[in-house]
Chains A and B, each alone.
Chain A
């Protein structure tokens, strides 16, 4: 790829015996919002923190804006912006002071006032950091990640631990970055976030990329089938379930049968008939259009959110 701004090749990192990243490869083009989707502990944060220059890699090659994060860390830090996980600011620093302080570290920087306005923090600018709500802290973190007008912006789980409404506020912010054609590397374990915000997504599990593509491409992998999730009062064999009308695939995930069907109405009718004949009962039934969750289940046999 000619204008890949971010390149990761066979990245490996372990902490003692724990293999956090086991050969991750992907590249991100300028102006793209790229998502790393995976459960907690999949190696997303480690990957991102290696790209940011916060951690060293064990093997493989990475390049960010044409720089080696380890060797050219000073130059790199001028070019990137980041909102980290497990971070904080001093309790008694005011919002405006924090953003001005960080602006002062960079050769090129945006107007702190304007950034606060844009992130809806204008009326909080004189508040102490400790007085902000979780959502406000997160918005400040994203605002601070943009303070140097970075070429690449890393957002590590920007919505983790926020309630859905606040999460949507952060989505708006990221969508705006996308409209601005900023290069963003986003990590998340929320399906919705990856589908809605990312141009391309790499699904990561146990330190490897198990699928990569646009959300649409990835969903097409599940064969355009509809997912039917059924919990039954008594177990049935996978074979029986697969013989139901229209079913192309069956998986058992946490005592729920996940059926992939080409003709959902017929499948449900034949399922109900079958259960009646067996004296079995439906405990619950859910029908969902294909999502990245299906891709994940298909590839790993597990749900994303454990």
Chain B
């Protein structure tokens, strides 16, 4: 079982492991029975100590009830299940890397085929599925496949759990039938974005996923529609973005993650993601140009084509989708402007004449960039300012403004 949930902000598997350990173990046992497998491995990341503890406890209880172990319920069927704790590498969520990790070697993906079903753990045929998949099995067996298939769309069946995070009023885990539109999830379930803010996009599918703009919010959540929009279901991360989020910064955030988590085996991923990151960093720092956009597109496409495993093949997705839907923001960055006023190097803070000289900003500024002048209009020394935004937050009269560095 693949319980190496590594997407930033995703905690679906964690919830299931911590709250429904029996469901997962039952699903796994059923799968083992169907295949005639005699041993099972739960690969759970070590960063989930509570999940591991609860899975251990559940396994111990099942053993005492003869639901696991030798001759389960008096039958010929025996199943030995053990837990392997992951060492904290994102790439170990890739199945071949996961298997290597279980074998005690460095978690690096290998070429498929042979698929694990043919040659997996210790060279033996191995079935490998995610936590959610196993958790669905007992329900399907109990209620029948038809009941499960009745949920969802024509091609994507059943329910899916998403971790709804970002700029929504009500974040958290949500379970919806496949085919629910993004708008329903964001607005009806999540309560939409904060008042006064504009819903801009959702980043779906984790670091390998893509950004879908608000204009396409009526896209139903199913495998095919998401793929068509350039994103993917992934493990089910769903980050809601509003107009204060910069799409270039967003792409950089996810790319930085995949770049750091690349195993370093193949050059397209190892070096290509690094070069992509450098270009994005350049744009966010106002040192980029329009030629960088072409470079980004070219590099992204080729990294996708040439990489060995899923990590590299999908790492450029956040870049490609934001380029596709928010090219204007990239162009603005190339001209040294961040429309969302998010990229620190491209903005500056200033204090308007609404300032009443209360000195709170000067007291709180961590960089000492504001001189304390009681009852006078304060001013920010832009060269000392670290763009933390504290002054803006503490100002009682909203006199602190964000503006473009280049064209105030």
Q: Note whether A and B form a binding pair.
A: no
